[in-house]
Amino acid sequence: MISDRTFHRFLASVAIGLLGLASQEAAAQDFPSKPIKVVVGYAVGGGTDAIGRMLADRLGRVFKQPVVVENKVGANGNIAAEFVANAPADGHTLLFVIHTHVTNPGAYANLRYDPLKDFQPVGLAASTPLLFLANPAFPPNNMLELIAYARANPGKATFGTPGMGSPAHLAMEMLKSAAKMDIMIVHYKGAGAAESDLIAGHINMQGSTLNQGMPLAKAGRVKVLAQAGAKRSEQAPDTPTITESGLPGFQSNSWFALLAPTKTPPAIIARLNQELNLALRDPEVLVRFRAAGAEAMSSTPEEAAKYMREEQVKWLKVMKEVGIKPE
């Protein structure tokens, strides 16, 4: 039999819970009550900044409060992430990230935040597949031919990256393992230097994004062997995916997401997610995305969290296998 004291405690806990829910709902109804800050960890004019500003502009029109982008540059996004992780969890300070957000623990020791635990995803925003480019004189013309060539000529083919641990580097390491082939990887200080050597024929291949690689391909300066998205991009409809080339499940995208501090009320996250997904269906936004070489990638907060966890597991495994250690 339940005592009066236990019953009263139960009623009190229920009342407190209901009051908490009511206060969250009220906060969501009043949201936003001041300008929203979207923090980007990269420089003005870069791809992450450009896509973040497109969405901030669209959200600002809906919320009737300014949505401003603030760039906190440095340490591959770590400075911005730490700032937002410690910001008030009221939905007014958000973080716009690229995929390296989840792999930073594999490259940086002593991070003062957890890229998954300290953030609540609002949703995924956009993606762009990695392209595998080749010099026009390189014999293989597609991924199947590359695999056959590399197996017949171990260590002869060369692949340039923007640097150790870069997305292009990790994608090629994963491809080498999946296809059981030997390709020499050459690290450069930036994508521009690798691109110059690719065009000059000093290296055979390079990883690139849509907006960087497709103009070069259309000009005949390079050729595209494959794209690494889950499906063919609308901007490269004639280029097969690596999955189509006989390596099921192979995927390497640059993706972007909008995050909030982890204790942000669920009702505010839901409101932000709703408006983010509406923005991702806006024809004007889609046109601007296309110009930046990106495609919309909408999701629920739960889907975004699952995707980010899976991406972290996949890429940290590759980093460990190739000997990249946090520094």
pLDDT in tens, the chain (327 residues): 555 666 556 565 555 555 555 555 655 778 999 999 999 999 999 899 999 999 999 999 999 899 999 999 999 999 999 999 999 999 999 999 999 999 999 999 999 999 999 999 999 999 999 999 999 999 999 999 999 999 999 999 999 999 888 999 999 999 999 999 999 999 999 899 999 999 999 999 999 999 899 999 999 999 999 999 999 999 999 999 999 998 999 999 999 999 999 999 999 999 999 999 999 999 999 999 999 999 999 999 999 999 999 999 999 999 999 999 998
Rounded to the nearest angstrom, the gap between the alpha carbon of residue 253 and the centroid of all alpha carbons in its chain is 7
Element (H, E) at 93: strand 93-98
pLDDT at 63: 94
pLDDT at 3: 58
Q: Does residue 141 contact residue 225 with C-beta atoms inside 8 Å?
A: yes
HSE at residue 36, side-chain half, CA atoms within 13 A, is 29
Element (H, E) at 266: helix 266-279
Q: 216 Cβ partners below 8 Å, 6+ apart?
A: 133, 195, 199, 208, 222
Q: Does residue 45 contact residue 6 with C-beta atoms inside 8 Å?
A: no
What's this model's pTM, rounded to 2 decimal places?
0.88
Q: Does residue 214 contact residue 167 with C-beta atoms inside 8 Å?
A: no
Residue corresponding to tokens 């000093």 = 202
- Domain edges within the chain: 34-129+253-321, 133-227
Residue 290 is classified by DSSP as H
Q: What is the pLDDT of residues 239-259, one digit of tens each?
A: 999 999 989 999 999 999 999
pLDDT at 5: 62
Residue 260 is classified by DSSP as E
CA dist 56 and 46 (Å) reads 15
- The residue among 48, 59, 221, 226 whose CA lies nearest residue 135 is 221
pLDDT at 117: 98
Q: Does residue 253 contact residue 128 with C-beta atoms inside 8 Å?
A: yes
pLDDT at 104: 95
Residue 296 is classified by DSSP as E
Q: What is the pLDDT of residues 224-234, one digit of tens each?
A: 999 999 999 99
HSE at residue 245, side-chain half, CA atoms within 13 A, is 25
Let me know if the fold of 34-129+253-321 is the same as that of 133-227: yes
Q: Which residues of 32-54 are buried (b: 16+ CB within 10 A; e: fewer)?
A: beeebbbbbbbeeeebbbbbbbb
Topology given in CATH for the domain delimited by 34-129+253-321: D-Maltodextrin-Binding Protein; domain 2 (3.40.190)
Topology given in CATH for the domain delimited by 133-227: D-Maltodextrin-Binding Protein; domain 2 (3.40.190)
